């Protein structure tokens, strides 16, 4: 593995926006439940930020789902 590959952020997709819609939660409401800012939720949903393991677990817990149901590695060729 090259140094560049190590520095690249992982390609993680998520369906957080869908889960929020199903649960009728705003970004602000979800953020308050897990003690982060609304901007953090927005960054996660838009793929600009990959949450820590702890944060991903907190998010999954809010929806009663497994982390893998909300976050998944993007398949590469």
* pLDDT tens column, 20-33: 999 999 999 999 99
The reported pLDDT for the residue numbered 64 is 98
CB 63 within 8 Å of CB 19? yes
Longest dimension (CA), the chain: 43
pTM (global) more than 0.85: no
The reported pLDDT for the residue numbered 74 is 82
What total number of domains does the chain contain? 1
In a domain, 4, yes or no: no
3-class SS at 65?
coil
In a domain, 74, yes or no: no
In a domain, 73, yes or no: no
- Residue-number span of the structural domain to which 47 is assigned: 10-65
Q: What's the CATH number where 48 sits?
A: 1.10.260.40
In a domain, 37, yes or no: yes
């Amino acid at each position: 593995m090259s140094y560049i590959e190590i520095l690249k952020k992982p390609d993680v997709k998520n369906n957080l926006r869908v889960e929020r819609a199903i649960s009728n939660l705003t970004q602000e409401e979800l953020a308050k439940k897990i003690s982060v800012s609304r901007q953090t939720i927005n960054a996660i949903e838009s793929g600009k930020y990959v949450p820590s393991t702890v944060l991903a677990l907190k998010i999954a817990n809010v929806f009663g789902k497994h982390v893998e149901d909300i976050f998944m590695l993007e398949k590469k060729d």
